[in-house]
Amino acid sequence: MDEPRLHALMVRSLAGDAPAYREFLSTATGELRAFVRRRLFSGPDEAEDVVQEVLLAVHLKRHTYDPGLPVSAWLYAIARYKLVDHLRRGKRRGVSAPVEAAEGEADVNTVEDGAHRRDIERLLTRLPAKQRRAIELVKLQQLSVREAAAAASMSEADIKVSVHRGLKTLSRLVAEDDAP
Amino acid sequence: MKAKDMKTDDLIQSLSETAQPVRKGRATITFIAAALAALAVCVGIVLLSGQVRADFSEHMTAVLAKAAFSGLLVLATAPAMLWLVHPGRSAGLWIAIGVAVTAVAIVVGVLAVMAGRGELAAALGAGGRPVVFVLIPLLAMPAGWVFFTWGRRYAPTRLALSGAAAGALSGGIAAASYALVCPVDEAMFVATWYTASVVLCGLIGAALGRILLRW
């Protein structure tokens, strides 16, 4: 990391210099992206989410930077904190993923990759029929809960519960598959 | 992936557009303000409780000595707290903690040597008196709320350690306030039980810090 340059940019940023701040954030993003990707193995998309969280934290907490100290130490301390926080939250999400939250992510997590789809289909066969059907309709075919309920002749509540339980089971299966 | 990159660029753009000059170096001032607020709350509770010792004016020196000892505990912890809310200040942190622990250990040690074995044993036994062990942490709770609120405005990256510092600070301030109530004036009692109570507050703070200091 080019500490003197980044330090100069940060000092100017704190004085309210918008172009310097923009350059600081762009330069820092490259460093942060490499930092996060080296430590996060769940793919570049998730890494980019963490990078954005770190950038936001850098912005909101920039008053905690002491210009007498290296800016890289400050930046990496925040990055490390946000990365650990992200992993902790991920762990909690894995235990119980509310169906509403999962629905919001549906458009981001479209399964396009054939290999991924095969993996998921393989895992889905290990789920109880009702949970499998609910996940296929809501997550893979991206129907709304109401449409899925009509298609599967199940109640909406039943669909939600089945998706919820199915995702829980899936995350457990994935964890088991990933375990060495 | 390309789309994500673009989103990050958008984020950078919008963040840099909102760049305002940042007033810096205010952590110490706001910290002192928070500590004074915490002290005011604790003293206020003690006064409202009506438990201030009746012989207060006769034992003014002892009360002040106890408050001063508690003040030492606060002063010992304060630098670590200020260090902890600034990301990347790890080098000085352990020096600050080391100095704090050494300073308290020296004072307690000197008091113990001066007191001699008999008084030390009496203080540690304390005839079931260490009600301070409950009262100081209870009194520290509102002070803790002040320090946790203050801490979250900055950026503590070691939550348990920051929580421990906030807890110990609150304990020190609660102990200084409790000196107005405490009927026991033996130096050794104060050195052992007040310190132990502050350490307990630190442990509680460490547990709470993981949850309450997240940002």
Specify whether the CB–CB gap between B169 and B81 falls below 8 A: yes
Which residue type does B108 have? V
What pLDDT score does A29 carry? 95
Say if residue A75's pLDDT is above 90: yes
pLDDT in tens, B162-192: 999 999 999 999 999 999 998 888 888 888 8
pLDDT the model gives residue A132: 82
Q: How many Cα atoms within 13 Å fall on the side-chain side of residue B116?
A: 2
- Confidence (pLDDT) at A106: 37
| Residue A140: per-residue pLDDT | 67
In this complex, is the C-beta atom of A115 within 8 Å of any C-beta atom belonging to chain B? no
B14 touches chain A (CB under 8 A): no
Supply the pLDDT for residue B164: 96
Check if A1 contacts B (Cβ < 8 Å): no
* Residue A151 burial (C-beta neighbours within 10 Å; 0-12, 13-18, 19+): middle
Check whether A100 has a pLDDT greater than 60: no
B7/A52 CB distance under 8 A = yes
Q: How many Cβ atoms from other residues are within 10 Å of residue B123's Cβ? A: 23
pLDDT along chain B (215 residues), means of 10: 72 86 82 97 94 87 92 92 89 81 87 75 63 93 97 94 96 96 86 92 96 93
Secondary structure letter of residue B87 according to DSSP: T
> To probe the interface with A, which of B1, B4, B26, B154 has the most A CB atoms within 10 Å?
B4
Q: Which residues of B82-114 are buried (b: 16+ CB within 10 A; e: fewer)?
A: bbbbbbbbeeebeebbeebeeebeebbeebbee
Beta carbons of A67 and B24 less than 8 Å apart: yes
Please say whether the beta carbons of A169 and A131 come within 8 A: yes
Cβ of A48 within 8 Å of Cβ of B7? The answer is yes
pLDDT of amino acid A115: 47
Count of C-beta atoms within a 10 Å radius of residue A16: 12
| Average predicted confidence (pLDDT) for chain A | 78
Q: In terms of C-beta distances under 8 Å and separation of at least 24 residues, what long-range contacts does A125-129 make, across chains too?
A: A126/A169, A126/A173, A127/A166, A127/A169, A127/A170, A128/A166
Query: What residues of B are in contact with residue A65 (Cβ under 8 Å)?
Result: 24, 86-87
Torsions phi, psi of B13, nearest 5?
Answer: -60, -50
Given the cut 0.90, state whether the ipTM is greater than it: no
Indicate yes or no: CB of B155 within 8 angstroms of CB of A78.
yes
Distance, in Å, from the CA atom of B43 to the CA atom of B30, rounded to the nearest integer, reads: 20
Tell me how close the Cα of A173 comes to any Cα of chain B, in angstroms. 27
- Fill in the DSSP letter of residue B127: G
Lowest mean pLDDT across A32-41, A46-55, A90-99: A90-99
| Angstrom distance (rounded) from CA A15 to CA A12 | 5
Contact B103, B76 (CB under 8 A): yes
Q: Quick count: other Cβ atoms within 10 Å of Cβ A103?
A: 16
According to the model, what pLDDT value does residue A163 have? 78
pTM: 0.73
Distance CA B55, CA B45 (A): 19
Average pLDDT estimate for A170-174: 71
Amino acid symbol at A144: S
Q: Kindly report which listed range (A90-99, A119-128, B9-18, B71-80) carries the lowest average pLDDT score.
A: A90-99
Contact B15 A80 (CB under 8 A): no
Instruction: For A142-160, write each residue's pLDDT tens digit.
Output: 677 777 887 787 877 788 7
* A:B CB pairs within 8 Å: 100
Which of B157, B158, B159, B162 is the mutation pick for testing A, counting most A CBs within 10 A?
A: B157
